[in-house]
Amino acid sequence: MASGCSSLAQMERSVVFQPARYPDGNWRPADAMFEDASFTSSDGTQLHGWYFPCENRRATILYCHGNGGNVAYWASAARQIRDRVGSSVLVFDYRGYGRSEGQPTETGILDDARAARLWLARREGIPERQIVLLGRSLGGGVAVDLAATDGARALILESTFTSIPDVAQTMFPLLPMRWLMETRFDSKAKIENYHGPLLQSHGTDDRTIPYAIGRRLFDSANEPKQFLPIPGGDHNDPPREAYYRVLSAFLDTI
């Protein structure tokens, strides 16, 4: 029985966390203009990220990426945010991703995000609560946890969920996934404790995290909040021009 439970837990982790380790990806992107960031999580795990500075920044953004790839895969998204909305951005790898040490776990990557936020606050010379938290997909669960626990200047969520078991239940409707899964990222329960500005977007044709799940998370959030549906958008579609216009206007209000 114990062996069966262990195998189930390993399978769960392999689905939830899909890291690409260095040297997978393009680690020398052309004209990226970034700095390497190195910092340490609370348990001593060495972590790595890429910092995209913006001289006349509108905001400072911590980018919590999705469950796959590494910073080399997510650099374009971070660079686009810097260039299109005039903000400094740190995109970092959770433990077990890219050049970061260790193996990913829910508790571990939440600690990693706090270490990344601390590094970014010190680099920019601002309080941690002045950092804007942006979470995409799995990173939404990370960003919500930080915002709900510690506060934030603003919270931006892209294509994310109420909880990991809720997503799994849609994939395996005949199995009791909400009972079986150890990994939770229960954003729906946590977001009630966040009281700052929220911008949330979600593709209406998302086949990985259903649109309805994203809407339920948004409905649980406090005001002030804004929801941007992406008509016909699927989970891994790149952001559209309309998204950057809304994001830019949102940052002007915070």
Q: pLDDT (tens digit, 9 = 90+) per residue, 131-167?
A: 999 999 999 999 999 999 999 999 999 999 999 999 9
Asked: is 2-253 a CATH 3.40.50.1820 domain? The reply is yes
Residues near 85 by beta carbon (within 8 Å), at least 6 away in sequence: 58, 59, 244, 247, 248, 251
Distance CA 2, CA 225 (A): 45
Segment 35-59, tens digit of pLDDT: 999 999 999 999 999 999 999 999 9
Which positions are catalytic? 137, 206, 235
Q: What does the alpha-carbon distance between residue 211 and residue 221 come to, in Å, rounded to a whole number? A: 16
